Structure 1
Amino acid sequence: MNQFQLELWKRLTEAPGVSGFEAPVRTVMREYISRYTQEIVCDNLGSLFGVMRGDENGPRIMAAGHLDEVGFMVTRISDKGFLSFQTVGGWWGQVLLAQRVQVLTPAGAIDGVISSIPPHVLSDDQRNRPMDVRNMYIDIGVDSRQEAEQLGVRPGQPVVPVCPFTVMANPKRLMAKAWDNRYGCSLAVELAKELHDCPSHPNVVYVGATVQEELAGARGAKTAAAVIEPDLFLALDASPAGDIPGVREEGGKLGGGVLMRLYDPVFILQPGLRDFLIAICEEENIPYQFYVAKGGTDAGPVQYHGQGVPSAVIGIPARYIHSHAAIIDRDDYEAAKRLLFAAVRKLDRAALDAIKPR
């Protein structure tokens, strides 16, 4: 397996980056993208892009993952040192109990666990109903508020899930926290590397990652689009897989190829861009699968920026996203990478004009 990719995936997925607190991931992204271009642009919220200049008369292409992951924020410290918390991004409470976390303080990360009640002391009523997140706490192993504060814990600090990057028994399957959306960050880095190594492309590409996608409104996409003013946008994002027991098989399946998002509540893939991407997949023998989503991505707000920006999601399915551990398939990643590289190479002014509605 490619050592460059393994190191990139490990560093990106293990870096903490809860929405609004993306600095550690941004540092990793800046380090990698700066290897391939010294022209870096940012918005005022923290989104970061490298500029890859091909044909200056060609269209301006924006290709972006998002830096942030779902996590938590400390809201209160009890007299006995237990931490109340707020979820940041979309969580289902039943994936939280007894899971390891880290509280990020200026003095460093503090290990903890989300409280759970042993079955021995649960009442019948408690056993038969889910626990509300508001009744969960983080235990960092202290006995008082003063002890927690001496360690540097304060309300407002981010809390991140813990899961090391793991190559599984089937080496095509990769487990980590935050594949939503360090997948897209990784693909952005690989695109920057590709355009640096083979710099002839018929456009100017802004490649990087936004912030705060997991919060309502996909905020970084709006501010980044205002900075870049793209002619076309390619969101690089992971979506929930539909190939596990108990889930209707309406999402993608691992190993089925790149995920072609057709529709979500804030986005519709325009016919011209859909046909453009499918034609590339057919020509290049890239496996693809269709997806209709219940949640949005950065493609939604960028699509209606200014006078409108043709937008698409180059995605992959991931099992168990918005939990502590998610799984992707390396073949899907490679399919998405091939589509992204080919699309960027073909997106000249004539291709963009053909994509736009007539």
Structure 2
Amino acid sequence: MSDTQKPWNSPMPEPQFDLMRRILAAPSPVGLEAAMTYGVLKPHFEGFAPDSWQLHQFKGHAGVVLDTHPGRDDLFKVMIIGHADKIRMQVRSIGEDGKIWINSDSFLPNVVIGHEVTLFSEDPEAPGSYRRIEGGTVEALGAIHFSDPAQRSGEKGIKKEQLYLELQIHGENKKQQVENLGVRPGDSILLDRPIRHGFSPDTFYGAYLDNGLGCFVTAEVARLIAEAGGTEKVRVMFAIASYEEIGRFGSRVLAGELEPDAIIAVDVNHDYVAAPGIGDRRMQPLEMGKGFTMSVGAIASEQLNRIIETTAREQGIPMQRDIVGVDTGTDGMAGVLAAVDCVATSIGFPIRNMHTISETGYTRDVLAAIHAITHTVQALDALPDPHREFLDHHPRLDHAGALGHQGSDKPETGQDKQ
């Protein structure tokens, strides 16, 4: 395959970009993920999955799993996990002046001020039926004129308790006007910002790349595996989890139910090179535009990582190593949290402005992740015995060879050429 034929070296085709945009647009706050899983991904899966594949559904959450070999517990089971839940704000209380006081959840209070949102409210008269209210904005001070000098200078920030939803309520009985809409504490609020192409080539931006992107990658890997004729020795479970943003709870249930032998989590990562103000922290130089990322450390399996890295090198797919310390911070932890013996790692792509309304990504990094995971699954399927591969080949540092000084010449490696 020439460089020009490698998808990760070309712009993302517009139909594929449109699928990514539709997945990311689905209103799926924590606990209400079905808009993405059942509204977008389930019909998408059904459009290409062979008849022998099965979609698993669950009672306690709206996660779904597309299974290539249902019931075949004898096969080596690989679970690829994206999570459908979005960070959401919630109604906290309603003031006499018509202000709807809200929780900011995992958003910094200052990044949501002034932005348009949609409030999703269950109809009190028809439980299970939801309505949406558009046209509101998140506010805190109302105007600079009402802030104290420390806030004007930047010495003092906005507290999360100051946030409220402005619905332009006026006139008499302002609180009653809001209550007449059926708005209640606990109602979910999402930022209203669609995904758009960015100014720079192959970039895009908008709200909630975390983690509709992981779901998009998981779905595209499923499609490519189906188009390639499936797998023989490996049972692949393409999982779309819930509850990640509140503690990786959904994925640990999926792992506990289906007991995978390997987990590959797919989630966004940080562009540390572009992140302002963290240079003195000496973070690893992950950078948007340099390929997908692979977690090293925590519970990440060196054996699984070796197969991913070898496969990426053989295919010429650009890759970056991400140091994760004691916790991957992703659904890669699902196996150990569910007490399931499995190898695991986490794949990502550097984005900027995470947990803001203007998250920014690079389509070629996303394509690199899609094809790296696809080729990794195929490499696992080509092993003589995937079970024994991981049982018998744990790295032995007591077998490490001595390494001497290598000189100062910079070698021209395949990785450098990419």
Same fold (TM over 0.5): yes
CA distance in 1, matches of 2:356, 2:254: 27
Q: Which residue of 1 aligns with 2:333?
A: 300
Match of 1:14 among 22, 25, 28: 25
SS at match of 2:349: strand
Q: Which residue of 2 aligns with 1:262?
A: 296
> Is contact 1:63-1:205 (8 Å) kept?
yes
Q: Which residue of 1 aligns with 2:255?
A: 225
> Is contact 2:92-2:186 (8 Å) kept?
yes
Give the number of the structure whose alpha-carbon radius of gyration is greater: 2
CA distance in 2, matches of 1:81, 1:157: 16
1:251 shift after superposition:
5.2
Q: Which residue of 1 aligns with 2:398?
A: none
Q: Which residue of 2 aligns with 1:142?
A: 169
> Is contact 1:107-1:152 (8 Å) kept?
no
> Is contact 2:197-2:205 (8 Å) kept?
yes
Q: Which residue of 2 aligns with 1:353?
A: 388
4+ long deviations beyond 4 Å: 54-57
> Is contact 2:252-2:337 (8 Å) kept?
no
User: What amino acid does structure 2 have at the position aligned with 1:316?
Assistant: F
1:55 shift after superposition:
11
1:189 shift after superposition:
1.3
SS at match of 1:81: coil
User: What amino acid does structure 1 have at the position aligned with 2:240?
Assistant: A
CA distance in 2, matches of 1:150, 1:23: 27
Shift in alpha-carbon separation, 1:157–1:34, aligned structure 2, 3 A = same
CA distance in 2, matches of 1:234, 1:55: 20
Q: 1:113-132 deviations in whole A, cap 9, x for unaligned? A: 11143223322133230011
Q: Which residue of 1 aligns with 2:266?
A: 236
Residues 1:252 and 2:286 aligned together: yes
Shift in alpha-carbon separation, 1:292–1:91, aligned structure 2, 3 A = farther
Match of 1:40 among 52, 55, 79: 55
Normalising to structure 1: TM-score of the pair?
A: 0.92
CA distance in 2, matches of 1:301, 1:268: 10
Where do 5+ consecutive residues of structure 1 fail to align?
none
Q: Which residue of 2 aligns with 1:126?
A: 151
Aligned residue pairs, count: 353
> Is contact 2:109-2:163 (8 Å) kept?
no
Normalising to structure 2: TM-score of the pair?
A: 0.79
Moved more, 233-242 or 110-119: 110-119
1:5 shift after superposition:
1.2
SS at match of 1:342: helix
Q: Percent identity?
A: 21
CA distance in 1, matches of 2:231, 2:340: 25
> Is contact 2:293-2:350 (8 Å) kept?
yes
Q: Provide the alpha-carbon RMSD of the alignment.
A: 2.1
Q: Which residue of 1 aligns with 2:76?
A: 59
Match of 2:88 among 68, 71, 74: 71
> Is contact 2:118-2:132 (8 Å) kept?
no
SS at match of 2:47: coil
> Is contact 1:213-1:221 (8 Å) kept?
yes
> Is contact 2:308-2:373 (8 Å) kept?
no
Q: Which residue of 1 aligns with 2:413?
A: none
Match of 1:187 among 208, 214, 217: 217
